[in-house]
Amino acid sequence: MADELRVLWDFSDLPGTEARFRARLAEPVGDAERAEVLTQLARVEGLRGDTAAGQQLLAEAEALAAPDSAGRVRVFLERGRLLRSAGAPEEALPLFVAAFVLAGHLGEEFLAADAAHMAALVDNVEEWTARGVEIASASEDPQVRYWVGPLLNNLGWAHYESGRFDEALEAFRIALAAREETSNEVHEVEIARYAVAKTLRALGRPAEAAELMGHAVAVSPPDGWFHEELAEDYAALGWHAEAAEQATKALELLDAHQPPDRVERLHQLASAAPPAPPPLPA
């Protein structure tokens, strides 16, 4: 079953998203739908960092939602998200598990996959990813199949951060294919392509990475991360002038709150100077 409220979300525009949900509340809706909408307003507050406001909205939703309902699944999910954002993943996990079990019982595939996605962020990433992908990939609904991309993206980064680059590449490639199938957002697809390229470079394949990132920067809105990766790809190929051009663009696009070592590296690339050769043996 798809998520009818998903179409009201724009994660880059929280005020607009909130306005759409408040407009839905102003319509003549029953308690069940009101409960679900309130959980989405709670998520908006959580993304703003206002945990107290989010919890208050969830208390209102819980009072309206029947125990065996999609609204109760959403209460579990959003309460878990608030706890995770507040730095309490251990407390969030039982809520994600409860959401997963209840959503499965109700046949709410979209919410079950979402719950698995969240559980994977705080518990056994491989186990929960497998559960979520099993649900999402078996569904005939494009909204539910959408979850294959986020689930495998998270698994890919878990492998990448542990140095398991071959496994990361496999996960990222499948995630990219899923994004291309289910997403109409160009930038979302190209973010998935970026993950593939970054992993290819880690595997010593910068030419393939550069080809993918060249496509990404050509078709996507300006993105400093994309230009940064392309700069690193070009530098690995020994194309220092091209790397400098991309690093300069990255510095122009990235915000001012980047780690100092990252900024230093981009300035090094932007200088167009090849790296110093290693010292000769004594």
Residue 29 falls within a domain, yes or no? Answer: yes
Residue 132 falls within a domain, yes or no? Answer: no
End-to-end Cα spacing for the chain: 68
Q: Residues of 33-55 as b/e, b for ≥16 C-beta within 10 angstroms?
A: bbbbbbbbbbbbbbeeeeeebbb
Residue 245 falls within a domain, yes or no? Answer: no
Residue 210 falls within a domain, yes or no? Answer: no
Residue 22 has pLDDT above 90, yes or no: yes
Give the pLDDT band of residue 282 (cuts 50, 70, 90): very low
Tokens in use for 120?
A: 């994977």
CA atoms within a 13 Å half-sphere pointing along the CA-CB vector of 114: 23
Q: How far apart are CA 231 and CA 206, in angstroms?
A: 11
Residue 10 falls within a domain, yes or no? Answer: yes
- State how many domains the chain has: 1
Give the pLDDT band of residue 273 (cuts 50, 70, 90): low
Give the Å distances, CA to CA, from 86 to 56, 62, 78, 142, 247. 15, 20, 12, 32, 34
Q: What is the pLDDT of residues 164-189, one digit of tens each?
A: 999 999 999 999 999 999 888 899 99
CB pairs under 8 A, 24+ apart, for 235-239?
Answer: 235/269, 235/275, 236/201, 236/206, 236/209, 237/206, 237/207, 237/210, 238/274
Q: What is the mean pLDDT of residues 131-154?
A: 94
Residue 208 falls within a domain, yes or no? Answer: no
Residue 62 falls within a domain, yes or no? Answer: yes
Residue 83 falls within a domain, yes or no? Answer: yes
Residue entry with tokens 């530098």: 235
Residue 280 has pLDDT above 70, yes or no: no
- CATH number, position 67: 1.25.40.10
Residues of the domain holding 17: 1-123
Q: pLDDT value at position 240?
A: 95
